[in-house]
Every structure is written in structure tokens, then in C-alpha cells.
Amino acid sequence: MSILTDLLMMLLVLTNLRMLASSRVAVCIQNVAIQAVVLGAITFSLSAHAAIAAGVIVVAISTVAVKGLVLPWLLRRAMKGAGIGREIEPFVGYASSVLIGAVLLGLCFVIARPLRDTSHAGASMLIPVAMFTILTGLFIIISRRKALTQVLGYLTMENGVCVFGVSLAVEEPLLVEMGILLDVLVGVFVMGIVIHQINREFDHIDTDRLSVLKD
């Protein structure tokens, strides 16, 4: 099962790199949905190494349903409502973003090397990939102009936090897991409302242009 888990981690890395390389918002939404499915699969694959509570499994299924189906559907509606299909002029180009992502991936493996002994026995790549996913989301937030793309960066960053949480699934209470899921759902709803209001008032959702607004 450790091989399967490592393969899932590699898939998570590839989705992160695809997020950095793609200008199409629909592709980025699809990546977030794929990551949700991968997170659920990682939880089930690690259950072969420890007696993960049934409640955590239920939360994993709920995470796949909410983050893999409901949130992507809401984000696609926001994308169509705002009338955007691509991130045209990011602060950092896509080729440069992929190169920076590759550097971040290498740094994550170097930084996480002392921590591997404390990670889950069935996943040697758990911590570095989780760190890389968090940094990928953070980089997307600061390097993209569209508010919707920044929401996707937030979701990617939260997926990295969830990967960290998988290693602690045996000890984590169900209430904490449910709290994380509820926090994500509420956060995306609020962001969707903000995007809709910004687009209605200003006919665009470029966050850098909003910084020059004056009374």
C-alpha cells in the first residue's frame, strides 16, 4: 500500500504543476476536484497501515463530495457569471511559475528530510508533498490577478493542510475534521459572493486594478 500512496502523492505533485502551468480557469477548477479525490484515496490507502476511525473515513468521503463535486460546481458558476475563461496577465508567467514550482518541490524534500522519521509509516512522501501543495497554493494566490484564481489557490493550499492532517488521522478527533471541512465550505461561499459583487460593480475581478480605486 505504501507504493500506492506514493503514486497518489506523485499525482498530487503533477496536479500542482498543472495548476502552475495552466492559464485556463476551468482546468484549474478541474485540478482542485482531482486533488479532492486524491485526498480521499490517500486516506483509504493509509487505512491499511493503521486502524483509522470510521468517523475519519466518513469525513474523507464528505471531503471528496464537497470539494470534488459541490465546490467545483459553484466555482464553475462563478466563472461563467464573471465571464472569464483565462488568467491573461499573471504577475508571474506560466513557464516561470513551473520553474519556481520545481525549485519549491526540491526545497520541500530537502526541508522535510529530518521530519520523515516522524511521518506516517506508509507514506515517505507525505510531508514534502504536503508542504509543496501548501506553497503552490500560496504562490498562486500572490502571483495571479483574478480573484477566482486566487480562490483556487486558497483551496490548493487547504488541500496541503489536509494532507498533513491525514498523517494524524488516527489521533485527530472527528470534530476537528468536520470543523476544517465546514471552514473551507463557508470560506468558498463567502469568496463566491465577493467575486459576484466585485464583478457586478466593476465589470472585472482583477485584484490589482481594485488597489487603485479612490473616493
**Residue 42 within a domain:** yes
117: domain range?
2-210
Domain count, the chain: 1
Burial status of residue 147 (CB atoms within 10 A of its CB: 0-12, 13-18, 19 or more): buried
**Residue 128 within a domain:** yes
**Residue 75 within a domain:** yes
Over residues 159-174, mean pLDDT: 66
**Residue 7 within a domain:** yes
Nearest alpha-carbon partner for 2 in 48, 61, 60, 68 = 48
**Residue 29 within a domain:** yes
Residue whose cell numbers read 507504493: 3
**Residue 108 within a domain:** yes
Each residue's pLDDT tens digit, 33-76: 999 899 888 877 766 555 555 666 676 777 788 788 888 888 88
Each residue's pLDDT tens digit, 64-96: 887 888 888 888 887 887 777 787 778 888 999
Each residue's pLDDT tens digit, 93-136: 899 999 999 999 999 999 888 766 555 544 568 889 989 999 99
Q: What angle do CA 202, 208, 210 make, to 5 degrees?
A: 35
pLDDT value, residue 21:
93
pLDDT band at 173 (very low <50, low <70, confident <90, very high): very low
pLDDT value, residue 100:
95
How far is 15 from 149, CA to CA, in rounded Å? 15
pLDDT at 153 over 80: yes
**Residue 138 within a domain:** yes
**Residue 215 within a domain:** no
Over residues 12-26, mean pLDDT: 92
How far is 27 from 136, CA to CA, in rounded Å? 16
Share of the chain above pLDDT 90, in %: 21
pLDDT at 156 over 80: yes
